[in-house]
C-alpha cells in the first residue's frame, strides 16, 4: 500500500496545475521519455503502442478509401523546397539543415522534411503523364522535423510521427471532394475511435497551411477548455502543380494541371486523448485504441487456484479478440489498482477466492470507477459490452465539456467577459473576413480563430471588432 | 499485343547483363523511383506494399518473442555517438550532419542516425535500475541514413527502411541466447516466408559490426551466384553498457552491467527477393508477401456475363483471405499477362466464355508458367494450395542454385579456379583465423569471407593461404 500511495501522490491534480498534471501523466504512465536533444522525445512502448493502434485502424480507413502507402526520402534539397513561394516562407525558418555528408561539405544543403509536398510533387512529375494516371492517392507514415523553440510531449516536438496524404486529381471538384472526404475520415475517427467530439471547420487565410488554398480542420476541446487542432486536410488547387510544371494529357488531348490535396494527423492525437479524457488518477484511454483493454488481477493470489482461475479468464478474453493482460506479480493489489488506473486501462477484471465460490468475477470500469459482478460464463460478452459503454460514456462526457463551454457573443467585450468568467472555452461570433479584425481579437481578447464551422447558420450579425454586418460564423479560443 | 511485346522487350535478359536486368525490374515493376538526391530512393506503392507485408509478418514474430516497439529520435549528438570508440570509428565517416536549426548554427552538430545503439543506451540508462527491469526487449521500425558513395535500388541506399532490435539482459548467457533466437527468427522468415534458403553463420572480426563482440548473420545466394547478407544479429557483451555506465541492482544487491544485443533486417530483403527469384519476364514474388497473390483476368470480357463471373471469383478469393485483384481494364489480354508477370503475381486466374460453359477457370502459375483448369467450386482451395506449392517450388529452386554453386576447396588456387570455371558461387575452406590470410584471399582471389557456418564440421584441414592446420570452416564469395 505504500507503493500505491506514492504512485498516486506523484500526480499533480488537474485543477492545481493542468500543465504539470499533463507532464506527470506522460511520465508516470510511461508514454514518453526525454532525450538529450531539446524537443526530441522518446516514444516508450506504452506510448508507441497507442500510436500503433491508431495507425492500424486509420490505415485501414485510408485503404478502404483507395489510398496506397509510399515512402519518400527524408531530405529535401533547398532548391526543391523553394519552388513554391508561400510554402518555403512558412517552413524554412524551422528547418533542420544537413550541410555535411561524411567529412565532405555538401554543394547544396538539404533540410530534413518538415512536410513532403515538394517531394511528392517532384515524384508526381515523373509518374503522371495522362488522365489515366489520375487520381493518385498516396499516403506516407513517417516522422517529420520542425525546429521549434518550445516543446511539450506529444503536442509540440521537434521530431514527431505522423501520416501525410498527398493526392492528385484531374479536376478541382475531385480534389475538393477528396479534401472533405479525408476531413470526414479524421472526424469520424476522432469521434468513433478516440471518443473525442470534433468541430469540422475551415481555417482563416491567416491560419491556413503555407501554400494551401484552403485548410479544413477538426478542432477538439480539451478538459482545460483549450482547443486542440486534431487533424487538417488541405486543398491546394493547382498552385504547386503549376510551380512544379506537372501536367497531364487530358481526355480532350490538351495538357492540364492536376489539382492537389494533402492531409495529416500526428502523435499530437495522443496529447488530445490525454487532455480530453484523463483524470486525477492518470490516463483514461478510449477502449478502441487502448493497448491493454482489460487487465486481469488475481486477488489473494497466494490462495489455491486463484492464479489458474485468473489465467483462464485471460485466455478466454484473448481468444475473444480482447487485448487483455494479467498481472500476477508480487506487487500489492493496491499498487496494481493504482498502476493500471494510471495507465488508463479501461476495464479491470478481478477474481479472488470468494468470486470463485460464487462463480463470478468483478469488472471495474476506469471511466466511472463503477464495479459490477458478472457470472463467469458471461465474461466475454460483458467485457465487450462494457468497452463499448465506456467509449460511449467517454464521448458523452467530452461532448458535455464541449457544449458546456461553448458560447455565443456579439462584441469582443462580450467574448472577453465570457471567457474570463468561464476560465476558457470556445466563443462563436460573426466575422467580417478581414485579417485586421482577426489580429485585433488576439490583441484585445487573447484568442485566435479556431475555424469557421463547416455548418454555417447563414443568418446575419456583426463582426465583434469592426461591427460590419456579415454572415460568416467563426469560433475563437485559446489553442495548444 | 503491341504493348505486350514492348513491355517484355524493355527488360534486359539476366544472362546478358544481370545488373541491368535488376535495375529494369525495379523500374518496370514500379517498385522504386529515383529522387533528386543521389542514393535516396522513392519506395513506390508496389515496392512499399512488399515491405508492409514483410513488416506485418515479422512484427508478429517479434511480438511473439516478447518484444515491444518504441521510437527514438532520428538525430544523435556527436558527443553521444563518440561514447563507444569502435562504433564511432565505423560510422562517423558515413554520417550526414545537421549543423543548422532554422537560421541558427547549432552548438553541437547532430548526425542523422546510421543505427541507434547509442540512443538506446542513453534511454536504457534512464529506465534500467534493477534486475526487475530486465530483460528489456525493444524494437524500432524506422529509416536510417548512411552517406554511401555508390548506390543501387534496395541494396545500397543512403536512406533505407529497416528494423533494429535492441535488447538488454541480466547475463551474458541470456544475451547470447537472444542473439541466436533472433538470428533464427530471421532465418526462418527468409526460408518460410521469402522462400530464400539461408546459411546461418558468424562473421569474422574484420566483417563484424562496429562495436559488437560477435556478429551472426544469415547469408543467401542470388541467382548470379553472388552473396547477399540478409540479416544480422549482434552480441555486444557489456562493451556499450560500460561505455555508457549503465548498471542495475542485481539480485545479490550488487551493481552489474547488463549485456546487450542488436539485430536488424532492411528493405535490402526486397533486393534479395528480386535477385533470388526473378526471371527474364520480371519479378517472381514469394506468395506469402506478394501484395497481389492472385490476379483475376476476364477473357473476352466484352462477352455477356464474363466480367460478372470474374467478379464473383474475385469476391470469393478475397472472402477466403487471399490478396486478390481483378483487371477489367481495356488493355489487351496479352498486355495484362505481361504486366502481371512483370509484377511477379504468383497466380493468374483466367475466366472466359468457354470456361463459364464448362464451369471452370484457368490457373496459371508465375514460377513455372504451368496452367491448370479447376472446377469453379474448388477455386479457393485450389488457389490456396497452389500458393503453397509455388512457395515450395521457389524455395527448392533457390536451394538447388545454392547447392549447385557451393564448392569445397583446400588451396586459394583451387578456390580461384573453381569460381572462375563456375562464374561465381560459394567456396568452403578451412581458415586459420588470421586477418592477414583473410585479406590475402581478397587480394589473390577477389573474394571476402561471408561467414563461418554455425554448424561446423569439426574435422581438420589447412588454411588456403598459410597452410596452417586448423579446424574452422569458412565460406568465401563475392557479396552485394
* DSSP-based helix, strand, coil % in chain A, nearest 5: 40, 30, 35
**DSSP string covering A261-311:** EEEEEETHHHHHHHHHH-BTTB----TTT-S-SEEEEESSTTSTTHHHHHH
Strand ranges across the sheet with A371-375: A324-326, A294-298, A347-351, A360-365, A371-375
User: What are the φ/ψ torsions at residue B157 (nearest 5 degrees)?
Assistant: -115, 155
User: What residues in A contact B109, CB-CB < 8 Å?
Assistant: 100
Q: Nearest 5°: CA angle at B140, between B137 and B143?
A: 160
CB atoms near residue B327 (< 10 Å): 18
CB A167 within 8 A of CB A261: yes
CB atoms near residue A181 (< 10 Å): 15
Alpha helices in A40-91 (DSSP H): 45-64, 78-81, 85-91
A95 and A215 co-located in one domain: yes
Of the pLDDT bands very low, low, confident and very high (cuts 50, 70, 90), residue A9 is low
CB B89 within 8 A of CB A51: no
The per-residue pLDDT for B5 is 46
> Domain of B423: which CATH number?
3.30.110.30
CB A164 within 8 A of CB A115: yes
Kindly determine whether residue B43 and residue A110, on different chains, have CB atoms separated by under 8 Å.
no
Mean predicted lDDT score pLDDT of chain A? 96
Q: Which residues contact B304 (CB under 8 A, 6 or more apart)?
A: none
Closest C-alpha to A115, from A299, A281, A263: A263
Question: Is residue A83 domain-resident?
Answer: yes
The per-residue pLDDT for B87 is 85
C-alpha cell belonging to residue B118: 547509442
Residue B373 at interface with chain A, using a CB cutoff of 8 Å: no
Radius of gyration (C-alpha) of chain A in whole angstroms:
25
Kindly determine whether residue A99 and residue B102, on different chains, have CB atoms separated by under 8 Å.
no
The per-residue pLDDT for A86 is 87
User: What residues in A contact B142, CB-CB < 8 Å?
Assistant: 143
Q: Which residues contact B140 (CB under 8 A, 6 or more apart)?
A: B69, B70, B71, B72, B116, B163, B164, B165, B166
Question: Is residue A305 domain-resident?
Answer: yes
A244 and A102 co-located in one domain: yes
Examine the pLDDT at A434 and tell me if it is beyond 50. yes
Kindly determine whether residue A33 and residue B127, on different chains, have CB atoms separated by under 8 Å.
yes
Select from B36, B40, B153 the residue whose CB has the most chain A CBs within 10 Å, as the one to mutate to test that interface. B36
Closest C-alpha to B54, from B181, B150, B178, B141: B141
Strand A406-408 and strand A426-431: the pairing is parallel
Residue A335 at interface with chain B, using a CB cutoff of 8 Å: no
Of A41, A48, A103, the CB nearest to B93: A103
B252 and B190 co-located in one domain: yes
Nearest chain B Cα to A74, which residue? B159
**With a CB-CB cutoff of 8 Å, which residues 14-53 of chain B face chain A?**
33, 35-37, 40-45, 48-49, 51-52
The whole-angstrom distance between B208's CA and the closest CA on chain A is 21
C-alpha cell belonging to residue B5: 511485346
A265 and A359 co-located in one domain: no
A333 and A195 co-located in one domain: no
Written as tens digits, the pLDDT of chain B (480 aa) is 344 444 456 799 999 999 999 999 999 999 999 999 999 999 999 999 999 999 999 999 999 999 999 999 999 999 999 998 888 888 989 999 999 999 999 999 999 999 999 999 999 999 999 999 999 999 999 999 999 999 999 999 999 999 999 999 999 999 999 999 999 999 999 999 999 999 999 999 999 999 999 999 999 999 999 999 999 999 999 999 999 999 999 999 899 999 999 999 999 999 999 999 999 999 999 999 999 999 999 999 999 999 999 999 999 999 999 999 999 999 999 999 999 999 999 999 999 999 999 999 999 999 999 999 999 999 999 999 999 999 999 999 999 999 999 999 999 999 999 999 999 999 999 999 999 999 999 999 999 999 999 999 999 999 999 999 999 999 999 999
Of B42, B110, B147, the CB nearest to A72: B42
The per-residue pLDDT for B85 is 87
CA distances A374 to A281, A348, A355, B297, Å, are 25, 13, 10, 53
**With a CB-CB cutoff of 8 Å, which residues 123-162 of chain B face chain A?**
123, 126-127, 138, 142-143, 145, 147, 159, 161
Taking the C-alpha atoms of residue B144 and residue A302, their distance in angstroms, rounded to an integer, is: 48
SS (H, E, C) B163-205: EEEEEEECCHHHHHHHHHHHHHHHHHHHHHCCCCCCEEEECCC
Counted across chains A and B, CB pairs separated by less than 8 A come out at 142
Question: Is residue A283 domain-resident?
Answer: no
Q: Looking at residues A381-405, what average pLDDT do you find? A: 98
The per-residue pLDDT for B371 is 98
Element (H, E) at B394: helix B379-404
The whole-angstrom distance between B93's CA and the closest CA on chain A is 5
The whole-angstrom distance between A164's CA and the closest CA on chain B is 15
A37 and A127 co-located in one domain: yes
Of A33, A52, A97, the CB nearest to B99: A97
Task: Count the domains in chain B.
Answer: 3
Strand B294-298 and strand B255-256: the pairing is unpaired
Going by the DSSP 8-state scheme, the letter that residue B87 receives in this structure is H
Of B41, B71, B96, the CB nearest to A43: B71
Taking the C-alpha atoms of residue B168 and residue B124, their distance in angstroms, rounded to an integer, is: 8
Residue B119 at interface with chain A, using a CB cutoff of 8 Å: yes
> Domain of A194: which CATH number?
3.30.930.10
Taking the C-alpha atoms of residue B346 and residue A408, their distance in angstroms, rounded to an integer, is: 62
**DSSP string covering A404-445:** HTEEE-SSHHHHHHHHHHHTS-EEEEEE---HHHHHHHHHHH
Of the pLDDT bands very low, low, confident and very high (cuts 50, 70, 90), residue A85 is confident
Closest C-alpha to B385, from B326, B320, B325: B320
Q: Looking at residues A73-95, what average pLDDT do you find? A: 92
pLDDT digits (tens, 9 = 90+) for A179-233: 999 999 999 999 999 999 999 999 999 999 999 999 999 999 999 999 999 999 9
Residue A60 at interface with chain B, using a CB cutoff of 8 Å: no
Q: What is the dihedral of CA B373, B379, B382, B388, to 10 degrees?
A: 120
The whole-angstrom distance between A24's CA and the closest CA on chain B is 16
CB B51 within 8 A of CB B43: yes
- Work out the angle between the directed axes of helices A435-445 and A412-422 (0-180°, nearest 10): 40
B322 and B441 co-located in one domain: no
Q: Nearest 5°: CA angle at A409, between A407 and A411?
A: 150
C-alpha cell belonging to residue B157: 541506399
Residue B255 at interface with chain A, using a CB cutoff of 8 Å: no
Sign of CA dihedral B327, B330, B332, B338: negative
User: What are the φ/ψ torsions at residue A193 (nearest 5 degrees)?
Assistant: -110, -45
Closest C-alpha to A406, from A476, A463, A455, A480: A476
Kindly determine whether residue A36 and residue B123, on different chains, have CB atoms separated by under 8 Å.
no
CB A359 within 8 A of CB A376: yes
Q: Which residues contact B12 (CB under 8 A, 6 or more apart)?
A: B20, B21, B24
Examine the pLDDT at A5 and tell me if it is beyond 60. no
Strand B324-326 and strand B294-298: the pairing is parallel
CA count, 13 A, side-chain hemisphere, B336: 20
Q: Looking at residues A89-96, what average pLDDT do you find? A: 92
Q: How would you class A367 by CB atoms within 10 Å of its CB: exposed for 0-12, middle for 13-18, buried for 19 or more?
A: buried
Taking the C-alpha atoms of residue B142 and residue A159, their distance in angstroms, rounded to an integer, is: 13
A379 and A453 co-located in one domain: no
Domain boundary among A377, A401, A425: A401
Question: Is residue A3 domain-resident?
Answer: no
Domain boundary among A401, A423, A457: A401
Sign of CA dihedral B441, B442, B448, B451: positive
Nearest chain A Cα to B329, which residue? A132
Alpha helices in B193-332 (DSSP H): 239-243, 268-277, 306-319
CB B137 within 8 A of CB B164: no
CB A293 within 8 A of CB A345: yes
Closest C-alpha to B290, from B371, B394, B362, B151: B394
Asked if residue B400 has a cis previous peptide bond (ω within 30° of 0), the answer is no
Question: Is residue A33 domain-resident?
Answer: yes
Give strand pairing partners of A149: none
The per-residue pLDDT for B65 is 97
> Domain of B359: which CATH number?
3.40.50.800
Question: Quick check: helix, strand or coil at residue A480?
Answer: coil
Taking the C-alpha atoms of residue A361 and residue A363, their distance in angstroms, rounded to an integer, is: 7
Question: Is residue A5 domain-resident?
Answer: no
B375 and B249 co-located in one domain: no
CB atoms near residue B253 (< 10 Å): 6
Examine the pLDDT at A3 and tell me if it is beyond 60. no
Question: Is residue B401 domain-resident?
Answer: no
Closest C-alpha to A167, from A134, A119, A131: A134
Taking the C-alpha atoms of residue B37 and residue B26, their distance in angstroms, rounded to an integer, is: 18
Taking the C-alpha atoms of residue B174 and residue A179, their distance in angstroms, rounded to an integer, is: 52
Taking the C-alpha atoms of residue A401 and residue A396, their distance in angstroms, rounded to an integer, is: 9
Residue A102 at interface with chain B, using a CB cutoff of 8 Å: yes
- By residue range, what is the domain housing residue A308? 294-401
Of B45, B110, B161, the CB nearest to A37: B110
B376 and B323 co-located in one domain: yes
Question: Is residue A375 domain-resident?
Answer: yes
A152 and A260 co-located in one domain: yes
Element (H, E) at A318: helix A306-319
Examine the pLDDT at A168 and tell me if it is beyond 70. yes
Domain boundary among A251, A277, A303: A277
A219 and A368 co-located in one domain: no
The whole-angstrom distance between B12's CA and the closest CA on chain A is 22
Taking the C-alpha atoms of residue B476 and residue B479, their distance in angstroms, rounded to an integer, is: 9
The per-residue pLDDT for A6 is 45
pLDDT digits (tens, 9 = 90+) for B119-148: 999 999 999 999 999 999 999 999 999 999
Amino acid at each position: 500500500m505504500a507503493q500505491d500511495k506514492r504512485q498516486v501522490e506523484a500526480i499533480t491534480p488537474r485543477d492545481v496545475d493542468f500543465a504539470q498534471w499533463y507532464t506527470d501523466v506522460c511520465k508516470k504512465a510511461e508514454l514518453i521519455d526525454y532525450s538529450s536533444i531539446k524537443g526530441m522525445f522518446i516514444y516508450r512502448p506504452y506510448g508507441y503502442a497507442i500510436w500503433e493502434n491508431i495507425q492500424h485502424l486509420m490505415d485501414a480507413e485510408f485503404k478502404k478509401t483507395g489510398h496506397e502507402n509510399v515512402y519518400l526520402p527524408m531530405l529535401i534539397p533547398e532548391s526543391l523546397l523553394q519552388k513554391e513561394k508561400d510554402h518555403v516562407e512558412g517552413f524554412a525558418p524551422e528547418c533542420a539543415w544537413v550541410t555535411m555528408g561524411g567529412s565532405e561539405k555538401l554543394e547544396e544543403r538539404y533540410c530534413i522534411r518538415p512536410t513532403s509536398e515538394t517531394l511528392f510533387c517532384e515524384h508526381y512529375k515523373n509518374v503522371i503523364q495522362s488522365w489515366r494516371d489520375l487520381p493518385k492517392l498516396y499516403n506516407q507514415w513517417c516522422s517529420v522535423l520542425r525546429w521549434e523553440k518550445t516543446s511539450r510531449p506529444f503536442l509540440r516536438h521537434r521530431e514527431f510521427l505522423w501520416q501525410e496524404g498527398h493526392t492528385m486529381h484531374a479536376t478541382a471538384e475531385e480534389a475538393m471532394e477528396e479534401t472533405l472526404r479525408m476531413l470526414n475520415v479524421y472526424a469520424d475517427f476522432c469521434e468513433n475511435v478516440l471518443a473525442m467530439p470534433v468541430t469540422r471547420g475551415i481555417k482563416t487565410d491567416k491560419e491556413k497551411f503555407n501554400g494551401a488554398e484552403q485548410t479544413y480542420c477538426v478542432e477538439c476541446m480539451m478538459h482545460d477548455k483549450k482547443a486542440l487542432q486534431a487533424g487538417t486536410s488541405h486543398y491546394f488547387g493547382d498552385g504547386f502543380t503549376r510551380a512544379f510544371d506537372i501536367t497531364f494529357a487530358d481526355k480532350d488531348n490538351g495538357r492540364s494541371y492536376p489539382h492537389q490535396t494533402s492531409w495529416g494527423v500526428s502523435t499530437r492525437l495522443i496529447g488530445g486523448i490525454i487532455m480530453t479524457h484523463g483524470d486525477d488518477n492518470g490516463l483514461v484511454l478510449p477502449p478502441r485504441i487502448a493497448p491493454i483493454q482489460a487487465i486481469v488481477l488475481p486477488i489473494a493470489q497466494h490462495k489455491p487456484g486463484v492464479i489458474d482461475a485468473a489465467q483462464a479468464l485471460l485466455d478466454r478474453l484473448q481468444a475473444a479478440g480482447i487485448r487483455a493482460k494479467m498481472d500476477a506479480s508480487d506487487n500489492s493489489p493496491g499498487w496494481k489498482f493504482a498502476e493500471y488506473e494510471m495507465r488508463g486501462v479501461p476495464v479491470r477484471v478481478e477474481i479472488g477466492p470468494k468470486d470463485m465460490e460464487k462463480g463470478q468475477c468483478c469488472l471495474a470500469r476506469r471511466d466511472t470507477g463503477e464495479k459490477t459482478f458478472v457470472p463467469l460464463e458471461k465474461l466475454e460478452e460483458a467485457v465487450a459490452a462494457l468497452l463499448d459503454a465506456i467509449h460511449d460514456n467517454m464521448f458523452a462526457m467530452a461532448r458535455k465539456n464541449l457544449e458546456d463551454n461553448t458560447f455565443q457573443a456579439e462584441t469582443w467585450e462580450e467574448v472577453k467577459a465570457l471567457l474570463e468568467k468561464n476560465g476558457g472555452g470556445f466563443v462563436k461570433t460573426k466575422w467580417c473576413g478581414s485579417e485586421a479584425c482577426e489580429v485585433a481579437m488576439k490583441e484585445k481578447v487573447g484568442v485566435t480563430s479556431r475555424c469557421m464551422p463547416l455548418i454555417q447558420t447563414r443568418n446575419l450579425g456583426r463582426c465583434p471588432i469592426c461591427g460590419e454586418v456579415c454572415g460568416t460564423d467563426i469560433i475563437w479560443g485559446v489553442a495548444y
